[in-house]
Structure 1
Amino acid sequence: MSLAIATFPVGLLQCNCSIVSDPETREALIIDPGGDAPKILDYLKENQLKARYLLHTHAHFDHVGATRELKETLGAEILLHPEDLFLYDQVPMQGALFGLQLEATTPTDRPLEDEMEICFGKQTTRILHTPGHTPGSVCFHFEGHESHLFSGDTLFKGGIGRTDLWGGSQETLMRSIHRRLLCLDESTQIYPGHGPQSTLWHEKKQNPFLV
């Protein structure tokens, strides 16, 4: 059975939050809950979904802004790659650099690991560790009749993630993209952390950083 995917921008920096669900069991996971917790909760309620996991492509404040409130409300597990814990634990400091007052985060439940699989309902996503934007950046890949990639701030339509923030490395980012993403099926639908969706075929042909 195909996935149900809803993606909408949240928070001050308009991070793309994605809710991926199994249409049969109504179980769901939330990717990058960057803000606007009421908006996310309303979607879950309207569609009668049970969120099991709060997954994060990385720990910049604009991707974790609603995590605390959603954890307290839903009880879903928080998963993050351990190499980004130093950022997750310093969300108030991150916000201060942008003139924002942000609450401290709540502890994570489990670490994300490369090639780890997460199951919900009858669906499975595979973790791809793609450091570069941050040391613990990951992408979430769904394989099946169709291929879907939630790329966070690693790969955008027509661009790549910035590497001038904490722990960023352009050399590492480009290595991650070439070794972990460009080998996927060209029909793969890409859901980036910001901006419009794309396909891997389009990025391989048109992205100036990859051509």
Structure 2
Amino acid sequence: MELKEFTVGELMSKSYIISENGNALIIDPGAEGEKLYNYLQENGLKLKYIINTHGHFDHIAANQFLKDKTDAKILAHPKTNPKLKDPNLNLSQMFMRQQIMSPGLDKTLNDDEIIKFENLTLKIIYTPGHSEDGISVYIAEEKILFPGDCIFASGVGRTDLSDSSFQQLINSIEEKLFSLPEDTVFYPGHGPKGTISTFKNRVWPAVK
């Protein structure tokens, strides 16, 4: 498995391309679709899936570009679908005064769902709190997690938005993410990577 990390857009969002055997998937193409597409082209990769951890504009803005170029399938939680097509719901109108939209979902992802990608098994973990549609993607074989904006290396996602809930965030973190192996490395939607152990023991006590 190859993992390539990109920092994209004005909000410095993280996009991750996972590839194996000439095929690829991307988690949260938040902006700069051409840069992401060029990497695929330069490395001879066929994009199969676009996975959005939630429907905020800084995680979906390059969906349209990549879909048009590759016809990859867009996957996310069912509650993400309305946000893809509505600049008010995906917050691009509020924060950027832009009309950012995406094609609709090709497939919905629910809690505990499994996606087989080449030799990898991706487990979907429903982790609402920052947003009602939040999911995390866990790859057990690699002990890596993509939590979107649920947790960061030094904090957690904001919960002052219209579909946010701090109590839901607490439940998602304590009941779901803390059940993963403590040496799991997570790659968040913004900022550097971290480990579940460090987050649990150093960050979470200060946040909660």
Normalised-by-shorter TM-score class? over 0.9
Q: Does the alignment pair 1:126 with 2:123?
A: yes
Query: Which residue does the alignment assign to 2:24?
Result: 28
- Aligned partner (choices 10, 23, 29) of residue 8 of structure 2: 10
Structure 1 unaligned residues grouped into runs of 5+: none
What residue identity is the alignment partner of 1:129?
Y
Q: What corresponds to 2:112 in structure 1?
A: 115
> 1:106 offset after TM fit, Å?
1.2
- Please give the residue correspondences for 1:40-51 in structure 2 after superposition, counting only pairs within 5 Å: 40-51=36-47
Q: Check the 8 A contact 1:28/1:52 in 2, yes or no.
A: yes
Q: Which runs of 5+ in 2 are unaligned?
A: none
Superposed CA offset, 1:25-69 (max 9, x none): 121110000010011011111221111000010000000000011
TM-score norm. by structure 2 comes to 0.94
Give the distance between the partners of 1:92 and 1:135, measured in 2 at CA.
15
The aligned residue for residue 70 of structure 1 is: 66
AA aligned opposite 1:119 = K
CA contact (8 A) 2:84 2:103 kept: no
Report if aligned partners of 2:129, 2:159 keep a CA contact under 8 Å in 1. yes
1:184 aligned to 2:185?
A: no
Structure 1 pair 92–102 and aligned structure 2 pair: CA distance change class (3 A): farther
Separation in structure 2 between the aligned mates of residue 63 and residue 143 of structure 1, nearest angstrom: 23
Residue in structure 2 matching 1:79, options 72, 75, 82: 75
Q: Deviations over 1:141-162 (max 9, x none)?
A: 0012x30000100010110111
Report what 1:39 is aligned to.
Answer: 35
Shift >4 Å, 4+ stretches:
none
Letter in 2 for 1:131: P
What is the identity, as a one-letter code, of the residue corresponding to 1:142? I
Deviation for aligned residue 1:87: 2.3
Instruction: Report the CA distance between 1:202 and its aligned residue.
Output: 1.0
Mapping for residues 161-180 of structure 1, pairs under 5 Å: 161-180=157-176
Residue 181 of structure 2 aligns to a residue in which SS? coil
- Paired amino acid for 2:81: L
**CA distance in 1 between partners of 2:26 and 2:207 (Å):** 29
User: How far apart are the structure 2 equivalents of 1:143 and 1:99?
Assistant: 36
The normalised TM-score by structure 1 is 0.93
CA contact (8 A) 1:84 1:134 kept: no
Cα displacement (A) at 1:100: 2.7
Kindly provide the amino acid, as one letter, of the partner of residue 81 in structure 1: H
Q: Distance in 2 between matches of 1:89 and 1:170?
A: 26
Of residues 173-182 and 119-128 in structure 1, the stretch that sits farther from structure 2 once superposed is: 119-128
1:118 alignment partner, SS class: strand
Q: Distance in 1 between matches of 2:11 and 2:137?
A: 21
What CA RMSD, in Å, does the superposition of the two structures yield over aligned residues?
Answer: 1.3
